[in-house]
């Protein structure tokens, strides 16, 4: 099922269409959580300390540590996408 969903995402070239798709698929709370995780990754890539991210976003250090670990040792495709969108750390 995840591979099929990934295939759907791969076809979404227009950001507005992708946003419509996400808003239809996810609840507002789920969307907020996904957006928060993305922001956390952006801040990590920008060099913010984990403590500063926790204070800024109001999230636990455990959640930030998980994001940091994924940036270092996560799947190559994930790291490539984050690097492409957020730049090199």
Using DSSP's 3-state secondary structure scheme, residue 25 falls into: helix
Where exactly are the structural domains of the chain?
2-86
Could you read off the pLDDT of 52-71 as tens digits, one per residue? 999 999 999 999 999 999 99
Looking at the domain 2-86, which fold is it?
A: 1.10.1270
CA gap 87, 66 in Å, rounded:
19
On the question of pLDDT at 16 being above 60, the answer is: yes
Which of 42, 38, 44, 4 has the alpha carbon at shortest distance from 19? 38
Residue 41 phi/psi, 5-degree rounding, is: -65, -40
Contact call for residues 46 and 38 (beta carbons, < 8 A): no
């Amino acid at each position: 099922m995840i591979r099929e969903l990934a295939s759907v995402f791969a076809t979404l070239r227009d950001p507005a269409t992708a946003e419509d798709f996400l808003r239809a698929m996810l609840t507002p709370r789920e969307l907020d959580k996904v957006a928060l995780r993305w922001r956390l990754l952006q801040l990590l890539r920008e060099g913010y300390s984990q403590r500063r991210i926790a204070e800024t976003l109001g999230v636990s250090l455990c959640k930030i540590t998980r994001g940091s670990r994924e940036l270092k040792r996560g799947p190559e495709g994930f790291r490539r996408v984050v690097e492409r969108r957020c730049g090199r750390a």
